[in-house]
Amino acid sequence: MAGKAGATPTTYAPSPTTQKTKSLVFKNDDVDWVRPDKRGFQQCRPAFFRTGAVNAASGSAYAEFGNTKVIVSVFGPRESKKAMMYSDVGRLNCNVSYTTFATPIRGQGSDHKEFSSMLHKSLEGAIILETFPKTTVDVFALILESGGSDLPVVISCASVALADAGIMMYDLVASVSVSCIGKNLIIDPILEEESCQDGSLMITCMPSRYEVTQLTVTGEWSAPKISEGVQLCLDACSKLAKIMRSCLKESASSLEE
Amino acid sequence: MGLPNVSGDFSSEMDVDAFRRLFPLRFYERHLVESIRPDARPLGRARDTTLALGAVTSTDGSALAKIGLTTMLAAIKMEVMTPSIETPDEGCIAIDFHMPPICSPLVRPGRPAEAEPVVSKQLCDTILSSGMINMKELSLISGKAAWMAYLDIYCLDADGALFDAALLSAVAAFSHLQIPVVSMNDDGRVVIISEEHQEGKDPVNKEKRKLTLSSIPFSLTSILHKKYILADPTAEEESIMDTLVTVVLDSSGRLVSLYKPGGTVLAYTSAIQDCIALTRQRVKELRNILDEAVSGMEVD
Amino acid sequence: MEIDRIDERTPNQLRPLICSRNVLNRAHGSSSWSQGDTKVLAAVYGPKAGTKKNENPERACIEVIWKPKTGQSGKLEKEYEMILKRTLQSICILTINPNTTTSVIIQVVSDDGALLPCAINAACAALVDAGIPLKHLAVAVCCGLADSGDVMLDPTKLEEQKMKAFTYLVFPNSVFSVLPEGSLQVEGEPVENGIITSVTQGLMSVSFKFVQVEDYLHCIERGRAASAKMSAFLRRSLQSQLPSDTLKAG
């Protein structure tokens, strides 16, 4: 057939390589630079949530933070895999994958093992697993477009989807990350900022209970910077949880009508 | 479901939803006798269809298509390749269809859905044999560089007629495609010219920013059941009645594909002609929907 | 309107058919089918207990595994598996052995065009050999469409590449019946005119007022004529081998 080569030829993206020059801009003038999207250092991107994005699932949510767009579907509680042993508490099964076009350079679109296990860890503590013994709840996430802070968005979106599916939780799980660039802490970093960060910190927490379900710190951090970053994240999480809650309330009230 | 007389004598003793789950085929046949479907559609009518172009900003062309609840996201990324020796001035298209685990309870991670490679292959055959895209338009420098268009289609919500929705999103993504302006740099690589600094390089493809799409293919899947023809089936309908016919016609009315993979119902000439007639109507609808979506983009 | 074919066949002429059954020892049923230089081996195992996940346990389940001549199976093989599975499902009586799985394994020996129809014919003969209950047999045929609009039956690989379009058609075989003439008609057409499977590739066009499907209808017509001949051949070759069955049983 025309245009269908037997073996796929090697290809490359024609995007210009200007990444290096940009990271210099960030570092040199320490205080005065502005973020690429003109936000303040401690200002999050506008968050948008919508439940019921996927009808085939028992619960689902779509989240959009700037260019970061994710969909999370929740299936179950349903029969566990046959190979699984008996368990008197429910099981949680998480999977995160990227589309091939999510990243600026076309990827493979394969499963992201690290994110899958991190998503599992951050949700595990919030779900009341005793309510669905012997069965499994599946939480599947697809990152449609990667625009930075992908994992925190996936986690927050997953907890909205779980609530939409009617899975019992102690509280909603909200997640926010900060990047450390030079002397500055910037919250909710975008892809460009993440690519030149010195360190990053992510918190997932249950704001109403003031409990942290997961905390990851990577890169270069000083002790006072860490506690500053944690505080920043916790404040942002409680604000984010309000947005998530209002989204759920809205969908619930529209159901009633 | 809003049709009290359909369930007749049964309704008094059994809840309609219970009847639907226990005797799905009989539930459907009661409706078909009345020429109506449980979602209140006449047999020959397709579900509401919407199209949104430019859903994914990081790609060169993208579209989100919804037919009823079935949702497809298609996006194109352009990369550069060295054309093969046999066709030095032709580009290439690589089409892939994905069913991520989010789209249906039947798909599990790590185990690709059965339909995935089949729909992928069908899309590939349909788009290439329809001749919608002239591969010569994807050429940059004869023998040296040509475009490889990677088209990836993701099913976000699976509720029947997957091929129809996938094909619609694919053709819409191609009509939204904006080819980046590129030039050859000193190392012989093709790079995008950013708008701020043009560096005095001559762009290779100043005029060819859009593809001319000749004869766009559109499709309609129908179910054959007894003497009935149900257009644009939902996932429930597909699971109950097993004979599917997919007809693809292009905008100039030629038959691109007639696909009937088995099924218990045999297709006779009259049924085939009816399916084609339904598709012909549907092609007009889809054409309008695509045209509206494209002209909507131009206003912005 | 006569067009030259490389092997000097007439447009309506099929390549020589060879069908032999019970070619494999360990399989419950097997056959080899060749059309000219295209040759396919089919083996049937089963019915085995239990059905796969996502299959209806109230019916017999059919599983098809397609082995290409060389290399691993890709998208094309997966598509063929699906088409073959659905085609065989439609001719088998699935209610007789519920909650069982019958495996059909197709091994391509050589491919010289019309591969899928050849595999369908082989699978059908292998099912008969294995004694799987069938409603009727199926005969598959490939119709190629030349640029001039002429239909050529059973094209070779070389011809397939030159063709602007081709279609694979599967029909039920003609039924011998004691019932009076005409009682086996559906909508005024005999049963064997119904299409079980249709797969097309390439554009079909003729200048016609509204929809240009004439090419396709033309293919169907020729395909039907050929399928009658093929079903006669299939019947003959299955009957001639029946004595061996009784020997095997004894």
Q: Between B78, B91, B109, which is nearest A95 by CB?
A: B109
Structural domain count of chain A: 1
C82 and B261 in contact by Cβ < 8 A? yes
Share of chain C above pLDDT 70, in %: 85
Neighbours, chain C (3 or more CB pairs < 8 A) = B
Percent of chain B past pLDDT 90, that is, above it, reads 51
The four Cα atoms B130, B136, B139, B142 give a dihedral, to 10 degrees, of 150
Distance from CA of B271 to the nearest CA of A (A): 30
Q: What is the pLDDT of residues C18-37, one digit of tens each?
A: 999 889 999 999 999 999 99
Q: Could you give the percent of chain B with pLDDT greater than 70?
A: 90
Average predicted confidence (pLDDT) for chain A? 86
3-state secondary structure chain A: CCCCCCCCCCEECCCCCCHHHHHHHHHHCCCCCCCCCCCCCCCCCCEEEEECCCCCCCEEEEEEECCEEEEEEEEEEEECCCCCCCCCCCEEEEEEEECCCCCCCCCCCCECHHHHHHHHHHHHCCECHHHCCCEEEEEEEEEEECCCCHHHHHHHHHHHHHHHCCCCECCCCEEEEEEEECCEEEECCCHHHHHCCCEEEEEEEECCCCEEEEEEEEECCCHHHHHHHHHHHHHHHHHHHHHHHHHHHHHHHHHHC
Contact: C195, B259; criterion CB under 8 Å: no
Out of B249, B262, B272, the one facing C83 most closely (by C-beta) is B262
| Predicted local confidence at residue B188, as pLDDT | 72
Closest in A10, A18, A67 to B58, CB measured: A67
| Residue B270 pLDDT level (bands cut at 50, 70, 90) | confident
Residue B88 has pLDDT above 90, yes or no: no
Cα of B1 to nearest chain C Cα, Å: 26
Q: Under an 8 A CB cutoff, do C90 and B259 touch?
A: no
Q: What is the CATH number of the domain that holds A152?
A: 3.30.230.70
Fold entry, domain C17-178+186-243: Ribosomal Protein S5; domain 2 (3.30.230)
CATH homologous superfamily of B41-299 equals GHMP Kinase, N-terminal domain (3.30.230.70)
Average pLDDT, chain C: 84
- The mean of the pLDDT values for chain B is 87
Query: CB contact, 8 Å: B204 with chain A?
Result: no
State mean pLDDT over A61-82: 91
Q: Does residue C77 sit in helix, strand or coil?
A: helix
Alpha-carbon gap: A127 to the closest alpha carbon of chain B (Å): 20
Q: Which residue has the higher pLDDT, C156 or B186?
A: C156
The alpha carbon of residue C202 is apart from the nearest alpha carbon of chain B, in Å, by 5
Examine residue A19 and state whether it is found in any structural domain, yes or no.
Answer: no
For every residue of chain B, which 3-state class applies, written as one string? CCCCCCCHHHHCCCCHHHHHHHCHHHHHHHHHHCCCCCCCCCCCCCCCEEEEECCCCCCCEEEEEEECCEEEEEEEEEEEECCCCCCCCCCEEEEEEECCHHHCCCCECCECCCHHHHHHHHHHHHHHHCCCCCHHHHEEECCCEEEEEEEEEEEEECCCCHHHHHHHHHHHHHHHCCCCCEEECCCCCEEECCCCCCCCCCCCCCCCCCCCCCCCEEEEEEEEECCEEEECCCHHHHHHCCEEEEEEEECCCEEEEEEECCCCCCECHHHHHHHHHHHHHHHHHHHHHHHHHHHHHHHC
Per domain, the residue ranges of chain C are: 17-178+186-243
Q: What is the distance between the alpha carbons of residues B259 and B270, in angstroms, rounded to a whole number? A: 16
**Which chain B residue shows the shortest CA-CA distance from C217?**
B269
Contact A106 B128 (CB under 8 A): no
Q: Can you tell me the distance from the alpha carbon of A175 to that of B202, in angstroms, rounded to the nearest whole number?
A: 47
pLDDT of residue B200: 53
Residue A118 CA to residue A79 CA, distance in Å, equals 23
Distance from CA of A199 to the nearest CA of B (A): 26
Among the partner-chain residues C170, C191, C201, the one whose CB lies closest to the CB of B129 is C201
Q: What is the pLDDT of residue C37?
A: 92
3-state secondary structure of C33: strand
Residue that wins the pLDDT comparison between C68 and B299:
C68
Q: Chain B residue closest to A147 (CA)? A: B58
| CB contacts, 8 Å: B102 with chain A | 54, 57, 60, 71-73, 140-142
pLDDT of residue B236: 92
pLDDT at C209: 40
Of B46, B80, B83, residue with least CA distance to B65: B46
CB contact under 8 A, B56 and A5: no
Distance from C130 to chain B by nearest Cα, in Å? 21
Q: Which domain holds residue A241?
A: 38-251
Is residue B192 very low, low, confident or very high in pLDDT (cuts 50, 70, 90)? confident
A11 CB neighbours in chain B (<8 A) are 79-81, 148, 150
A31 has a pLDDT exceeding 50: yes
Q: What is the DSSP letter of C109?
A: E
Length of chain C: 250
Q: Does position A203 have pLDDT exceeding 60, yes or no?
A: yes
Residue carrying the six token digits 């059941």: B225
| Contact between chains at B260 and C210 (C-beta distance less than 8 A) | no
B161-165, B288-292, C214-218: range with lowest mean pLDDT: C214-218
Contacts of B262 in chain C (CB under 8 A): 83, 85-90, 170, 196-197
